[in-house]
Amino acid sequence: MDRVEREVTIPAPPDEVWPAVTRSDEVSSWFGAAAELDVRPGGHGVFRWPDGMERHVVVEEVEPARRLAFRWLPFQRTSGGEILTLPSTRVEITLDEVAGGTRVRVVEQPAFALGLPRARFTPRALATIGS
């Protein structure tokens, strides 16, 4: 998955927009899933879609009326109870006061950069490579 960014300006101050991105009933409305969200660092959440799919999150960062970041866990439960493995992504929602209201910016990107570990060389190790 590549990075996905979206933003919209809402004609209201950040403290009035904040509940829309943190209260379970309001998050449910714009996500299209029944959401239960414990909005505190380390808090857990679950999103249940009408078709029975279910996905869990862990809240990573919270700055009230400013920023919420959570990580989708790397699995999803189907309506039949089957567990599907999915990439874990991190979602960061920021609220910035702008002329005319609040800019809501949502960025979703891979939660972990997977790749080959880089070797660490000390000067002594480098000296032995040429011998």
Tens digit of each residue's pLDDT (9 = 90 or more) over 58-116 = 999 999 999 999 999 998 998 898 999 988 999 999 999 999 999 999 999 998 755 44
Q: Name the CATH superfamily housing domain 4-129.
A: START domain (3.30.530.20)
Q: Which helix (H) or strand (E) holds 20?
A: helix 14-22
Interatomic CA distance for residues 17 and 42, integer angstroms? 22
- pLDDT per residue over 20-67, tens digit each? 999 999 999 888 899 999 999 999 999 999 999 999 999 999 999 999
Q: Where are the domains of the chain?
A: 4-129
Closest CA to 23 of 37, 11, 9, 12: 37
Question: What pLDDT is recorded for position 30?
Answer: 81
